[in-house]
Amino acid sequence: MKLRQRTATVLLCSLAAAVALAGCNARRIKERPSPRGTNVILLIGDGLGDAELAAARNYLTGAGGHLTMEKLPVLGRMTTYAVVENAPHLPDYVVDSAASATAWATGKKTSVGRLSTAPQTGEPLATLAELSRAAGIPVGIVTTAEITDATPAALAAHINARVCQGPNDLAFCPEFRRESGGLGSIAEQILHQRFEIVLGGGRRRFEQHWGGLGNPQALLDTAHQLGFTVVTTTSQLEGPLRPPVLGLFAEGDFDRLWKGEPARPYPGSGPQRCQPAGRPPEQPTLEEMTRKALEILDQLARERGRPFFLQVEGANIDKSAHAADPCAQIGETAEFDRTVDLVWKYAQERGNTLLVVTADHAHATQIVPHPSAGAHFPGLLSTLVTNEGALLTVGYATNAPAGSQTHTGSDVSVFASGPYSEQLAGRHDQTELFVVFARALGLRE
Amino acid sequence: MKLRQRTATVLLCSLAAAVALAGCNARRIKERPSPRGTNVILLIGDGLGDAELAAARNYLTGAGGHLTMEKLPVLGRMTTYAVVENAPHLPDYVVDSAASATAWATGKKTSVGRLSTAPQTGEPLATLAELSRAAGIPVGIVTTAEITDATPAALAAHINARVCQGPNDLAFCPEFRRESGGLGSIAEQILHQRFEIVLGGGRRRFEQHWGGLGNPQALLDTAHQLGFTVVTTTSQLEGPLRPPVLGLFAEGDFDRLWKGEPARPYPGSGPQRCQPAGRPPEQPTLEEMTRKALEILDQLARERGRPFFLQVEGANIDKSAHAADPCAQIGETAEFDRTVDLVWKYAQERGNTLLVVTADHAHATQIVPHPSAGAHFPGLLSTLVTNEGALLTVGYATNAPAGSQTHTGSDVSVFASGPYSEQLAGRHDQTELFVVFARALGLRE
């Protein structure tokens, strides 16, 4: 046991040394909070482009209805482009979740696949979460993906390739091995950051063993020794939990809430109604995780006289669109929108809270005319019978039918409420989120 | 000559009788203007969905730039769905230009293909342009398509099928023949409406002969006899013109300003730079037509102590997207955006002018990752070298490669400035344009 504790301490220390670069970078932005900062809650619908949003609205509320997020008082639009790795003065017009999340996490553009590191040089870029922690601001990260996936990881990790999620996943990032003096995998970096509450999937990354100076240990054991409250089921999430909290409710990503026939070549799947998929009960809903995160962060923020920063991701909208699975996609969007409702009510009651709902990139979905033999969408199609009883045909044709449907380069919508939200009205680049959040949290530049 | 004049008078009278229904409908909305109405200028980028907008921005200004329309102070979003002809309580999630223009022209939803007539019943729906005229408000309509095409026609015509553009085009609308007691083709109805200035293409529709009670006559001749100042070249447009003005600068639609290789299956066309296409000099630019319309409407409005209503359409964005021709599409978008610049400057100098820039529906364009043999967009592709020197790949895959690429069902952006513009912030349905325009013009409901 003592040996294990020493192992954990070594992890913290070795990581602390390795993260020094990022720390130096972080210190460039002076982190003294203003006396009264504003809570910041960012809700990311991964891949929730405007076509995905309209498809979900049509299905759920009818064409004339509004999703909850659309009722927020401030509307903006954001560009999401990345930059080219070897020519970072040039844009890469279609972004991925890693470069996109880096943009708001650090205020800097990077290239596709990178997490909070600069293109070409790999320089670590200080994140809002790190700056918050340095200012005594509690931080929460919630997702329905693995917590080592791109969107949550951008706040916590500095690494050259988003695939380097666990100690055994470093084939593309050999220089990040701690044995090589690196920062370690994304999972190791998340433990090091010790944010107040991190909830999602990806337990398999923490079951991997880190080298530990000749004393291999599963990261989960290390987490216990470092004082994390580790929870892995919905019922464990419900009780009172002492931060820092690490919730790992699935081996990989969460299961989808809804299922249906994926889109298929003409005449396509359906007409169909979407069905509950039976997410396993040990996996909480996004609302349940978010409610717990709000409870803990609210309490800590009051104790410390500080605001808090929370990022919540509805991750599997994106993954369902990659799979051309409209029912799964809409079910995840519905869950995300219910979470918006929960958070908006909290923000209205709490006051002094900036709430921002947006996406990290547009995706492949298109709402298209009903197919006929003479004229039809040439890719993957599905026709859904919406709640209002009409036929909604959605298509996916950004990759070969057997391939993963790709992101697209349209802007995304931004919905916001609370202090500073008017600064996001109109059209901005998503790096502006970093600036507005830092201002709201009282982190001075 | 006398006979011809009588023929023209007969056209007016017979049309007047036939339009009575529409007139009755119009009178239901009391048209007394408030003492000081606000000018309304609506600029429609036909098919200028957000992907089309982002593609043009990337090419023209760079990913980090802003088109002029994006600089307008108010941003909104609009749903554009139509309704099902035989079940008008149900939405048709993908609209066409006819049903879409009917929505803002009349405040009512209709089915695809209809122009300012109700689904199922065919009841004529009073248009903003008719209500304006009845209130002494001068009206202008400008387009780069045929003036009998859907977007301009929705303000001027009540007909069951948008294809019924000239007297010889009534195969789908036999009951609209004047010999059958109908309102006549779209071209005939435009002449009847006698709006102050109508500029665009479609001369071929006015070269057709109308029945004229056994005395066939070309509509162009009728127009002259009805007192229209008819112009057909850019130089004729430049001089002082006495309203009503009918400008017909092309046999059909205007030629495109830019050309390039259309999109093709993998590896696609390009990498290419777009080239000037050499629009014939007798066809004016959209700015030139708009400047003349503003000059005439401004003068008339001052004389009458009334505001004016002007609709300007950049029509061939849509037609270029149907043809999967990204250079033509971007060239037309650039012209449209220059027109926004012209109008915005006018509105700022003139004051008391509501300017709204939007689209009638989203279209097929997608901005996609650069294609490779292993993973590429399966439809029509083109890679452009943008002004900032980066590679922009756009794809079209909403119909078979040889077919016309179809519209899509995403919302469209709304950019606005001036009085009442804040009423368009956030998300609305496009029928709300009718309400806000009527309010601005001082047309009481």
Query: Tens of pLDDT along B383-436?
Result: 999 999 999 999 999 999 999 999 999 999 999 999 999 999 999 999 999 999
Band (pLDDT 50/70/90 cuts) for residue A126 is: very high
What pLDDT is attached to residue A211?
A: 75
Band (pLDDT 50/70/90 cuts) for residue A209 is: very high
Which CATH fold would you assign to the domain A2-28+37-441?
Answer: Alkaline Phosphatase, subunit A (3.40.720)
Catalytic residue numbers of B? 97
The whole-angstrom separation of Cα A211 and Cα A216 is: 5
Distance (Å) from the alpha carbon of A265 to chain B's nearest alpha carbon: 12
What pLDDT is attached to residue A216?
A: 82
CB pairs under 8 A between A and B: 173
Identify the weakest region by mean pLDDT among A28-37, A433-442, B417-426: A28-37
Contacts of B431 in chain A (CB under 8 A): none
Place of tokens 């220089």: A175
**Interface touch A410/B376, C-beta < 8 Å:** no
A34 is catalytic: no
Residue B378 has pLDDT above 90, yes or no: yes
The predicted model gives B336-358 an average pLDDT of 98
The predicted model gives B332-341 an average pLDDT of 98
Residue A10 has pLDDT above 50, yes or no: no
Q: Are B126 and B150 a contacting pair, CB within 8 Å?
A: no
Band (pLDDT 50/70/90 cuts) for residue A28 is: very low
The predicted model gives B331-341 an average pLDDT of 98
The whole-angstrom separation of Cα A363 and Cα A317 is: 10
Distance (Å) from the alpha carbon of A182 to chain B's nearest alpha carbon: 31
Residue A161 has pLDDT above 70, yes or no: yes
Cβ within 8 Å of residue B373, ≥6 positions away: none
What pLDDT is attached to residue B19?
A: 40
CATH entry 3.90.1260.10 includes domain B2-441: no
* Tens digit of each residue's pLDDT (9 = 90 or more) over B113-168: 999 999 999 999 999 999 999 999 999 999 999 999 999 999 999 999 999 999 99
Annotated domain spans of chain A: 2-28+37-441
Alpha helices, H only, B255-404: 286-304, 316-322, 326-350
What pLDDT is attached to residue A16?
A: 41
Closest-approach residue (CA) in chain B for A410: B51
Residue B380 has pLDDT above 80, yes or no: yes
The whole-angstrom separation of Cα A299 and Cα A241 is: 12
Q: What share of chain A is helix, strand, coil (3-state, %, to 5)?
A: 40, 20, 40
Distance (Å) from the alpha carbon of B66 to chain A's nearest alpha carbon: 8
- C-alpha separations of B180 from B14, B33, B173 in Å: 11, 36, 11
What pLDDT is attached to residue A179?
A: 82
Record the pTM: 0.93
* Tens digit of each residue's pLDDT (9 = 90 or more) over B269-301: 999 999 999 899 999 999 999 999 999 999 999
Residue B3 has pLDDT above 50, yes or no: no
Closest-approach residue (CA) in chain A for B93: A392
Q: Which two tokens stand for residue A29?
A: 């932005």
What is the overall mean pLDDT for chain B? 92
Closest-approach residue (CA) in chain A for B375: A399
Band (pLDDT 50/70/90 cuts) for residue B180 is: confident
Residue A345 has pLDDT above 80, yes or no: yes
Cβ within 8 Å of residue B157, ≥6 positions away: B115, B116, B148, B183, B186, B189, B190
Contacts of B384 in chain A (CB under 8 A): none
Contacts of B375 in chain A (CB under 8 A): 399-400, 403, 406
B63 closest CB neighbour out of A81, A399, A407: A81
Q: Are A206 and A154 a contacting pair, CB within 8 Å?
A: no
Q: Closest Cα partner for A279 from A313, A255, A315?
A: A255
Task: Look at B161 and A213; give whichever has higher pLDDT.
Answer: B161
Residue B7 has pLDDT above 70, yes or no: no
Residue B11 has pLDDT above 80, yes or no: no
Band (pLDDT 50/70/90 cuts) for residue B445 is: low
Residue B175 has pLDDT above 70, yes or no: yes
Residue A271 has pLDDT above 60, yes or no: yes
Q: What is the ipTM of this complex?
A: 0.92
The predicted model gives A41-66 an average pLDDT of 98
Band (pLDDT 50/70/90 cuts) for residue A445 is: low
Is it true that the peptide bond before B267 is cis, omega within 30 degrees of 0?
A: yes
Identify the weakest region by mean pLDDT among A38-52, A66-80, B165-179, B311-325: B165-179
What pLDDT is attached to residue B13?
A: 39
Identify the weakest region by mean pLDDT among A29-38, B286-295, B367-376: A29-38
The whole-angstrom separation of Cα B353 and Cα B361 is: 25
Q: Are B148 and B208 a contacting pair, CB within 8 Å?
A: no
Give the three-class secondary structure for B169.
coil
Distance from CA of residue B396 to its chain's centroid? 23
**Interface touch B408/A377, C-beta < 8 Å:** no
- C-alpha separations of B246 from B155, B256, B316 in Å: 15, 21, 20
Q: Are B347 and B41 a contacting pair, CB within 8 Å?
A: yes
